[in-house]
Amino acid sequence: MVKKQITQDTFNEVVQENITEFDMSPEEAVNDAVEQFTAQGIDLSNIVKALALEAVGAGEAGESPAVGLLEELKTWTQGDHAASEGQDLDSAVTAAVAEVEAPLSKLLELLPEQENRALAGAKGGFTTLLAVIERVAQLAAEDAPHSEDAKAKATHALGVALQTLAALLEGQPDLVTPPNPDSVVAEVHDNHQHIKQLCEHMTAFKHVGHIQQHGITAIRHACTKHETNRQTFVAEGLIELLLHCVEKHTEHPAAVGEAARCLRILTFDDDIRVAFGKGHEHAKLMVNQHSALARIMNTLAAFTEDAATTAELCKTLAKLAVRNEYCQEIVDLGGLKLLLPSLTAHEDSVEVAVSALQVLRAIAGNDDVKAKIREVGGVEAIIAVMTRHVKQRAVQDKGCAALAAVCLRDVENSKAVIEAGGAHAIVKAMVMFPDSASLQKNAARALRNIAARNPDLRAAILAESAEHYLNVAMERKETYEDAKAALRDLGCKVTLLEPWKGNGKGVKE
């Protein structure tokens, strides 16, 4: 459940009220406010106590090291970094880069702490870092009049600046575009100069792997749980920028993995402040207008020995398989020929196992693909992965989900699952993780789909004590319906509740 949050102004008002009406000291007022809001279930991770004390005149947030470093950076952006008398241009650029890189690196060390991030954000950290990025990008530009060595140093500093921006934006996407409390519809922001500026710099340095990595991380943080930012970045050409990175930076796996993560974020619908998002439309846009499936598949083929990058690319493929024809396209592009060998090549990798199972589950939504998965040994591969990673909840959960999808309305696949020991693997997962509602539901669905059109397979399932564990799952509200449906299709005794029998008692004609 998502916790509610309050603004810094609201917190400050309560602190001031405690001081005025209850004669508390500033420190007592802040502590009392924290206790009040915490008791109400409010998430205070975005609140900076130092700002509250500053608002009531009991302290200076400017005393924070993070704020001091921001002032240094702001001063640097306002300075003239031209060569002084007797100094050559390269020396001037090198000195300017060293001067800005020191406070950037120190600030980067402080920003992992939530309070420092919130304080830096409240003190104009976003606009200050964008100004730094603008100036450093000018020094690193290809047409800059200084040497390649000086440009390289400036490019490194640009990477540090983007990395610092990414750290600042983590959990604070509203710094890019403040929310509109009067609207529940997310739209492309009219005044999005900051987003346009960031995309322009990313495009100018799209050949530099580490710039892409850190810049995309910043963009990903800006798009997480912020639908307006997502739509605005997409309008500024972000999708092509990300796919270019996936395609062209195979020598920089970290950049490819980050681009894949950012592509997935664009398909999310996780901003609770808006009525609906455009995640599905973004997925279609990637596939139809940017050939995302083919480009990701080509890159996946280049990373067959890299487990981490393989996992990221597979997770992204699963998010894009949102239409029947897209599932078929993944198979036509050789998806199964890449996925199944990757499970063998990285048999000890939980990440690869989970992501490959996600893809298999997604593409099994296409009935023709279901048959193809069986023909190439996909059923056996799923069960083998579940058997190997029997203690990994995520693998068992995704494995049961994949088997449920593969067996839905498919008699032959259901037979193949039983013959490969699938009933034992599914029930074993239920035994190992009784507290995982998601796994219990997926396991119940898998057993139901196997038995629904195959009465002859019921005995093999019941021989694994499935009835007992499904009855256990029925005791929980979250898994009751799925477990009951599985028991019913297995021919087991099920008590059907009738909340209202319709006998008309108390009804007046």
Band (pLDDT 50/70/90 cuts) for residue 60 is low
Q: Alpha-carbon distance 137 to 158, whole Å?
A: 6
Strand extents, DSSP E, 22-170: 42-43
Q: pTM, whole model, 2 decimals?
A: 0.90
- Of the chain, the percentage scoring pLDDT greater than 70 comes to 92
φ, ψ of residue 170 to 5 degrees: the values are -60, 115
If we measure between CA atoms, which residue out of 36, 33, 46, 51 comes closest to residue 5?
A: 46
Tokens representing residue 345 in the block: 């090549």
pLDDT, residue 189, reads 59
If we measure between CA atoms, which residue out of 385, 406, 487 comes closest to residue 440?
A: 487
Cα 160-165-169 angle, rounded to 5 deg = 150
pLDDT at 398 over 70: yes
pLDDT digits (tens, 9 = 90+) for 269-328: 999 889 889 999 999 999 999 999 999 999 999 999 999 999 999 999 999 999 999 999
Q: Reduce the secondary structure of 203-256 to three states and give it as a string.
A: HHCCCCHHHHHHHHHHHHHHHCCCHHHHHHHHHCCHHHHHHHHHHHCCCCHHHH
Ramachandran quadrant class, 133 (left: phi over 0; alpha: psi -120 to 50; beta: rest): alpha
Tokens representing residue 363 in the block: 């593409």
Classify domain 377-493 by CATH number. 1.25.10.10
Burial of 75 (0-12, 13-18, 19+ CB in 10 A): exposed
pLDDT, residue 105, reads 97
Question: Over the range 313-343, which residues count as b (16 or more CB within 10 Å of their CB) and which as e?
Answer: bbbbbbbbbbbeebbbbbbebebbebbbebb
Q: Alpha-carbon distance 248 to 53, whole Å?
A: 50
DSSP tag of 187: -
pLDDT digits (tens, 9 = 90+) for 439-482: 999 999 999 999 999 999 999 999 999 999 999 999 999 999 99
Containing 313, the helix (H) or strand (E) segment is: helix 307-320
Q: Alpha-carbon distance 248 to 84, whole Å?
A: 40
pLDDT digits (tens, 9 = 90+) for 324-356: 999 999 999 999 999 999 999 999 999 999 999
pLDDT at 407 over 90: yes
> Locate tokens 């009951």: which residue?
484
Q: Which residues share a beta bridge with 4?
A: 42
Amino acid identity of residue 307, one-letter, is A
> Locate tokens 């241009």: which residue?
89
- Average pLDDT (10-38) is 91
User: Alpha carbon of 296 to those of 299, 340, 356: distances in Å?
Assistant: 5, 17, 14
If we measure between CA atoms, which residue out of 447, 440, 483 comes closest to residue 463?
A: 447
List Cβ<8 Å contacts ≥24 apart for 61-69: 61/119, 61/122, 61/123, 62/123, 64/116, 64/119, 65/106, 65/110, 65/116, 66/107, 66/110, 66/111, 66/116, 66/119, 66/120, 66/123, 66/125, 67/119, 67/120, 67/123, 69/103, 69/106, 69/107, 69/110
Q: What is the mean pLDDT of the chain?
A: 92
pLDDT at 508 over 70: no
What residue spans in the chain does CATH classification 1.25.10.10 cover?
377-493
Provide Rg for the chain, Cα atoms: 28
pLDDT at 59 over 70: no
pLDDT, residue 456, reads 96
DSSP tag of 185: S
Which range is least confidently modeled, 56-60, 92-96, 235-239? 56-60
Look at 166 and 191; give whichever has higher pLDDT.
166
Look at 501 and 192; give whichever has higher pLDDT.
192
Look at 20 and 397; give whichever has higher pLDDT.
397
pLDDT, residue 187, reads 65
pLDDT digits (tens, 9 = 90+) for 138-150: 999 999 888 999 9
